[in-house]
Structure 1
Amino acid sequence: MDNSSADGPVKNPTYMADIRQFFTDYDIAHMGPKGIDLSSYDGVKKNAPTIYIHTRQPDGDMPPDPYPKWTADMSATFYNWIMNGYPMGAAVAAAPSVRALSERATGRVRKNVDSLSPDEVTALTNAFKGLMAIDPGTNGSYYALAGIHGLPQTNCLHHEPRFNPWHREYLRVFEDALRSVAGCGDVTIPYWDMSTPVPALLKQAPFDQYVVPVNLGPGYGANYTTTRYPDATIASNLQENDFFGNTATSLQQTRFGHYGVDGYQDFSIAAHDGGHMSVGDTMADQNVASFDPIFWFYHCNLDRLWWKWQTLVGATTLAGFKSTMSSSDQYWLSPPFSTLPATPAWSVTADQTIEQTDISYDTLDTGAEAAAPPQLENRVGSIDAERSFTIRSAAPVSVRVKDIDRLNIPGSFQVHLLADGQTIATRAFFQPATPRNCANCRDHGLINVNFRVDQDKILDRKLTVEITVPSQHEAGTEFPLSQAGNPTINARLLLEDE
């Protein structure tokens, strides 16, 4: 791809804004077996002199014929990148507006639940009723499908790299089941745009609640019925759990990152967890959250936001997605780590979920945002000493609560950062009522929770941290930090990776 300026070579190129665009899927696949990784910053930087020699014009021999060679401007841009010290930089939000993405849609188009036509509402209603009427012992029943995420299977992947791919495939599996109901072959899962109140349709049967037709065991019993909070409470909770702030920050990230560290992954999962805890006691409990019909509309919106981020940073192909990651972070996109566990087994792997060629959304914008794409950033807490970086005078402070032992905490919880006794930030963490019974929870027992706060909110003030478990009304919601593994605090200014 020729990403050079129309006016000639880019004088001050960065990897994320310019250089990664020069390598096609074919280039990456062709050079990988030769020991040259073109899919990541690390690999391109390591091999930069060799790449330049083989691609510079007019004598370059790469890419091989019949593939087009680099232009002189591309070679000069790459040379400038080397001479400037291999700056990482930040991605530039895709143009034109991401609204245009829906125009390329073929196959399934998922719509805002508030924009469904009467015929679409009828078909969706029949599809949900059809699944709910199937015997719970049948794999395609509503009970069996919801039970993949929570009880009785509890094999969902949260707070780890495959989180988004797993849920994307889960939505497809559920959507396929809806479409298998007679007369519902064109149904798609609508999304609930969280910037608007709970849609009226979701307060009507069969979307308002679900009565589990089997005994779920201790704590739930027979005929467990899903519940939600009143609209005003949901709206207040979303603000308290900073759902919208975390969502907006996630969409500004250049890098995919890690949960509990940085990047899209950290902020998007924080938003996910906060949203779950905001909607109701059922949605706040990983054991039963997916039984509430609103779960599917909620997660459809989260998938829409992930696809929006992919579009903004140029990560809608596997090669583009990998370019937002270091080479060592890409392991989960290859066997055997790319498996997405479920029963019945899914044949799709994590890497195969990255490119959604037959699913799109009617719009990727939310009703609460401006039409202009966000300014993307690449802020980090630490960086290799050989790289260049900037500390801005108004740089936010990253406050990390490290090594919380989540296994001792009975259910989903909130971590609060207080200044002079007043809460200035809250992050939610979504998990089952008994996390020790969950294999994935045990594998990720120690977790970090990050706050990004403005300096003026914390400087010269007494800071403290609290953990609360909202579901523990009778015993008291505050949970002693000493019983959560005695976590520690790490606070630092964020660097801008250049």
Structure 2
Amino acid sequence: MAGNTLLTAVTASLCLFSGVSAWPFNKRQALSIDDIQKQALTNANKVLEGTLADGMTREKCTKDTVSIRKEYGDLSKDERLEYIRAVKCIRSKPSKLPAGKYPGAKTRYDDFVVVHMNMTPSVHSTANFMHWHRYYIWAYETALKTECEYKGAQPYWNWGKYSDLPKSPIFNGDEWSMGGNGDYVKHGGGMMGIPPGEGGGCVTKGPFGNLTVTLGPLMSTMDPALGIKANPQRDGYGNNPRCLRRDVNNHYTVSSLVPTNLASHITSNTAIGKFQDTLQNDTPQMSAIHSSGHFSIWGDPGGDVYVSPGEPVFWLHHGQLDRHWWMWQNYLEADLKSRTSMYEGGTNWFNPNSARGKATDKQWLDVVAPTGQDGIASNQLFSTTAGPFCYIYQ
């Protein structure tokens, strides 16, 4: 595919109840995102208790065994330090990819970046977008547990919680954060009208200060004047050591990521196709929620759709994306069963006429899949408490 065509496709995508219910509000009241979370959690617990059916088969997940994912800022300082330790651990272990095939993959963490690079065309703007990323985040969480003795659950970043993101517990640069903003360097905006923030340079503060990334860039959205080194290979897999850059900004946290917009997105979309399309695609009035999260961090590799998992906060952002879907699936008791199994879309981002996805299609994680858990059918990935999963959101 020609470079301009690819850029166009990437740009387009990045700009990316009914019935009787236990819900105690009437239809005229606008539901807050906190209301939605509360009811989703109530219904998810009913499913685990066996008093509400979601149509999924579960063998091992119960209220006694379910894991609770929490917002990063709600973790205790000790819990944050433990998560940081586990992330640093996975970054210190050697890659399990075939030697020499991906020269930039130096660590076990890099394995996850390579898999995302390989899978990008089939798991963005396709039927696979939501549940493949659910599977992927779970695999990362599992690796932290099995390979680095992490005892907690994968935290998430609640997009609507912090109006001043650089000062949030995630990015304030203290020892309990995920590192600070990038140092300020003069720079312009990026593609799709991303405005420059107060960073743009290397991250030098906090636990992930002075971090080296090696894969990509492949589809950078940063100002070319910053002079970010091009990858020695056109496919982005070459060894390209450089600093982690961020340009953490409030442009999206005060617009597309405000709680009222997040709640409206959940309550106004009744089918999975419309839900995931509106999650990913801009409108003339509003930037897309998914890309707004990525571009609130921006930087390198965080602003590159292919290598964005190289940014340590990617996992918190996509944890929240999964939570957003989980709330949509669970908050309406009357619709929970139908929404849990909804599946719609094509199978290749760059081919609008690609084959339609089937619920029996297998999903792949290659070397980052937990042992014996690669190639799981899509319909086993629809519920966070069925198939290989056993977690809910708090």
- Give 2:141's match in structure 1, choosing from 146, 150, 175: 175
Pair 255,209 (structure 1): closer, same or farther in 2 beyond 3 Å: farther
Shift in Å, 1:182: 4.2
TM-score, with length taken from structure 1: 0.46
Distance 2:264 2:92 in 1: 41
**Letter of the structure 2 residue corresponding to residue 299 of structure 1:** H
- RMSD, aligned CA: 3.6
SS of the residue corresponding to residue 202 of structure 1 reads: coil
TM-score, with length taken from structure 2: 0.57
Which gives a bigger RCO, structure 1 or 2 (Cα 8 Å, sep 6+)? Answer: 2
Q: After superposition, where does 1:42-57 map in structure 2 within 5 Å? A: none
CA contact (8 A) 1:318 1:351 kept: no
CA contact (8 A) 2:90 2:148 kept: no
Query: Gaps spanning 5+ residues in structure 1: where?
Result: 1-15, 22-91, 363-498
Distance 1:148 1:299 in 2: 15
Query: Gaps spanning 5+ residues in structure 2: where?
Result: 1-16, 22-30, 49-62, 99-106, 180-204, 217-230, 281-287, 346-355
Pair 287,226 (structure 1): closer, same or farther in 2 beyond 3 Å: farther
Distance 2:343 2:125 in 1: 19
Distance 2:271 2:152 in 1: 31
Query: How many residues were matched structurally?
Result: 261
Correspondence 1:141 to 2:108: yes
Which residue is equivalent to 2:296? 278
Distance 2:375 2:364 in 1: 9
Distance 2:344 2:119 in 1: 31
CA contact (8 A) 2:133 2:318 kept: yes
Which residue is equivalent to 1:120? 79
Which residue is equivalent to 1:353? 381
Distance 1:321 1:315 in 2: 12
- Give 1:299's match in structure 2, choosing from 292, 315, 318: 318
Q: After superposition, where does 1:379-394 map in structure 2 within 5 Å? A: none
**Letter of the structure 1 residue corresponding to residue 375 of structure 2:** S
Which residue is equivalent to 1:321? 340
Q: After superposition, where does 1:247-266 map in structure 2 within 5 Å? A: 247-258=262-273, 263-266=274-277
- Give 1:288's match in structure 2, choosing from 307, 322, 332: 307
CA contact (8 A) 2:41 2:330 kept: no
**Letter of the structure 2 residue corresponding to residue 236 of structure 1:** H
SS of the residue corresponding to residue 266 of structure 1 reads: helix
Higher strand share: 1
CA contact (8 A) 2:123 2:132 kept: yes
Pair 131,96 (structure 1): closer, same or farther in 2 beyond 3 Å: closer
CA contact (8 A) 1:212 1:223 kept: yes
SS of the residue corresponding to residue 213 of structure 2 reads: coil
SS of the residue corresponding to residue 366 of structure 2 reads: coil
CA contact (8 A) 1:154 1:287 kept: yes
Shift in Å, 1:126: 2.0
Shift in Å, 1:255: 1.9
Pair 132,96 (structure 1): closer, same or farther in 2 beyond 3 Å: closer
**Is the radius of gyration larger for structure 1 or structure 2?**
1
Summarize deviations over 1:280-302 as a string: whole Å, max 9, x none. 13322112211000100111011
Summarize deviations over 1:222-253 as a string: whole Å, max 9, x none. 21332111x4xx2124446x344753332113
Which residue is equivalent to 2:126? 160
